Amino acid sequence: MHARIRIAAAAAAALGALTLTACDTGSTVVDEPKENATAPADSGEGATKKTSDAPEVAKVGDTLTLEGFEEGSKLDVTVVKVADPAKSADEFMEPASGKRFVGVQFQLVNTGEAAYSDSPSNGAQIADSEGQQFDATIGDITAGPSMASSLKLKPGAKGLGWIVFEVPEAAKVDTVQFTMDSGFADKTGEWKLR
């Protein structure tokens, strides 16, 4: 009897240690945009230097490189456009009373060596200026086609689509975040929306 209790206690301690290890993943939020490959290089006379040492923060139109759990799993993620407020494309699907839809168009480019397969809306959140965060909702908007609910991209392929959020009417949306692996990867991208 005592041996069983000791074995159960040891198993519980091992499981607890594993859980703590799994939770301490070193998650980070990245918001410094990827260098624009098409921008001309600063060189020679007439080149201008940045006047501020403050790092640039990603905004609409910028690309962030994110990684997933699987080795070789990597995406270049761009917030292409924002529709605020967004109009529902379905007369039967309207925001709840006192709320509005906000749409964010994302472009995902698989820059890794592994295939990407996920539901992108699961890893997207929008936040207002008060710090309240809102998950994506199901809905189509008139701004354009929704992001596929189950997106599969081979290396080099890209996906484009709108992800919709339902926020309070008075909320001032401030940032949008995207995380691979349905929101569970260690690296989260963040873009300023205003």
The closest of 118, 119, 130, 140 to 175, measured between CA atoms, is 130
Task: Collect all residues with Cβ–Cβ distance below 8 Å to 9 and sequence separation of at least 6.
Answer: none
Distances (CA, A) of 2 to 5, 7, 10, 72: 5, 9, 12, 47
Report, as an integer, the average pLDDT of 59-75.
95
Task: Collect all residues with Cβ–Cβ distance below 8 Å to 90 and sequence separation of at least 6.
Answer: 139, 140
Question: Can you state the percent helix, strand and coil of the chain, rounding each to 5?
Answer: 15, 40, 45
Report, as an integer, the average pLDDT of 30-52.
52
pLDDT for the residue 47:
40
pLDDT, greater one: 155 or 2 = 155
pLDDT band per the 50, 70, 90 thresholds, residue 179? very high
- How far apart (Å, rounded) are the C-alpha atoms in residues 11 and 146? 46
Report, as an integer, the average pLDDT of 53-61.
81
pLDDT band per the 50, 70, 90 thresholds, residue 34? confident
pLDDT for the residue 4:
44
pLDDT for the residue 91:
87
User: What does the block give as tokens for 170?
Assistant: 């008075």
pLDDT for the residue 21:
37
Given a contact cutoff of 8 angstroms between Cβ atoms, the answer to whether 100 and 134 are in contact is no
Secondary structure of residue 19 in the 3-state scheme: helix
- How far apart (Å, rounded) are the C-alpha atoms in residues 111 and 22? 26
Task: Collect all residues with Cβ–Cβ distance below 8 Å to 26 and sequence separation of at least 6.
Answer: 186
Task: Collect all residues with Cβ–Cβ distance below 8 Å to 63 and sequence separation of at least 6.
Answer: 33, 34, 76, 77, 78
pLDDT band per the 50, 70, 90 thresholds, residue 35? confident
Q: At residue 127, does pLDDT exceed 70?
A: yes
Please tell me whether the overall predicted TM-score, pTM, comes out greater than 0.85 for this model: no
- Range from 6-15, 63-72, 154-163 carrying the lowest mean pLDDT: 6-15
pLDDT in tens, 130-144: 999 999 999 999 999
